[in-house]
Every structure is written in C-alpha cells, then in structure tokens.
Amino acid sequence: MCMQLDEIDAKILFHLQKNAKIPIKEISWRIHLSQSATLARIKNLEENQYIQHYAAVLNKSKLNKKLISFTGLQLRAHAQDNLISSSRLISEFPEVINCYIVNGGFDFLLHIAVADMQEYNSFYLNALLKIKNIETVRTFFVIDELKDDNSVDLSNLFKMYSGKSLRLD
C-alpha cells in the first residue's frame, strides 16, 4: 500500500534530512505534534521507505580520501547479463562511493574517493581494467568541490500542501 504524504510528514523528512540525530522531542516541538504521534509518523515513513536508512556524513579529507573523481565506463557488449555482471563487480569496489547506470557516452558513471593518484592508479589497474566487458574508461578528477549535499529538495511538497514556500514553524 502506498502512503500519501502530508505537510507534517514533509516537515519530519526535512528535519531528519538536516540532522538524523535530532531528538523526537525537538521534532515534535517544531511541528506542533505530540512525541508519540511524531514517532508513529517516523516509523510509518521508515516502513514505507521514504526513509531508507540513517547515516553519518563523513569528512573524506580527514579520512585521507582527498582525490575525488567521476569515471565513465562504456561496455563492449550491452546484453542484460553483461550489465548485471558488471554492476555486481563495480558495486563491490570500496573506492566507489556511488555508481549509476546512465545514458549518453557511458553505461556507468562512478563516483570514486581515494587518497591520492597512486591509489587511483592502483584501483584503475587492479580493479577497473580487470572487468572483462569494459571498452572505455574516462575519468574526470575534481579540482574543487563546490557542493556536497545529499539532501533532497522538499520544497515542492510544501508548495503542494500549503500553496506557498517552506515554512517550518
């Protein structure tokens, strides 16, 4: 059964997205709802997979993962079993933060974080080039990160419910 979001659910999602450790008491105060009703709504959002999981955002630089790149991979053969087997291999690589199947000039776009060029080269030679079905590898190294935010824009939900922009009080 598909859940229908309302303005209160959208506000809960907004607060949890900004800080997953925010106490239930604070969320309930901000959205003007009892703690038990707030908790019930959060559980419902989790069960309906609007909230997939909770995670800490780590500082890649402090963890010595300073070299960020985006790598496009093009396959030789595009049969479904080739896509599936390549996907499985790629998702096992710890250097790959995110992996997308895309259209355009590539079949996959990888978001990679490693310590330095030496680690990238090792990953390139010992992992990427070992995938038998890869035809082309093209890497773009990040010079400067202007925005690193996994937040989803929820403003459309607020406009849908109230006809106006985001209001959190």
- How does pLDDT run across 49-69, given as a tens digit for each residue? 999 999 998 999 999 999 999
Residue 164 falls within a domain, yes or no? no
148 neighbors 97 (Cβ within 8 angstroms): no
The per-residue pLDDT for 168 is 47
Residue 40 falls within a domain, yes or no? yes
Question: Residues 50, 71: one domain?
Answer: no
The per-residue pLDDT for 169 is 46
Residue 168 falls within a domain, yes or no? no
Residue 82 falls within a domain, yes or no? yes
- For residues 160 and 51, which has the higher predicted lDDT (pLDDT)? 51
Residue 72 falls within a domain, yes or no? yes
Residue 17 falls within a domain, yes or no? yes
> What's the total number of domains in the chain?
2
Q: Is 82 exposed, middle or buried (0-12, 13-18, 19+ CB in 10 A)?
A: middle
Q: What is the CATH number of the domain that holds 81?
A: 3.30.70.920
73 neighbors 139 (Cβ within 8 angstroms): no
Residue 155 falls within a domain, yes or no? no
Give helix 7-18 / helix 155-162 axis angle, nearest 10°: 160
The per-type count for the chain, helices as H runs and strands as E runs, is 6, 4
% of the chain residues with pLDDT over 90: 70
* Predicted structure pTM score: 0.81
| Start-to-end Cα distance in the chain | 31
- How far apart CA 33 and CA 42 sit, in angstroms, is 12
Range of the domain at 11: 7-56
The pLDDT of 6-20, averaged and rounded, is: 93
Q: What is the CATH number of the domain that holds 40?
A: 1.10.10.10
11 backbone dihedrals φ, ψ, rounded to 5°? -65, -40
- How does pLDDT run across 126-149, given as a tens digit for each residue? 999 988 889 999 999 999 999 888
Q: What is the DSSP letter of 51?
A: S
The per-residue pLDDT for 81 is 85
Residues 6+ apart with CB under 8 A from 48: 2, 3
Question: Residues 35, 79: one domain?
Answer: no
- How does pLDDT run across 87-129, given as a tens digit for each residue? 999 999 999 999 999 999 999 999 999 999 999 999 999 999 9
Q: Give the mean pLDDT of the chain.
A: 90
- How does pLDDT run across 64-95, given as a tens digit for each residue? 999 999 999 999 988 888 888 889 999 999 99
* Predicted confidence band of residue 21 (pLDDT cuts 50, 70, 90): very high
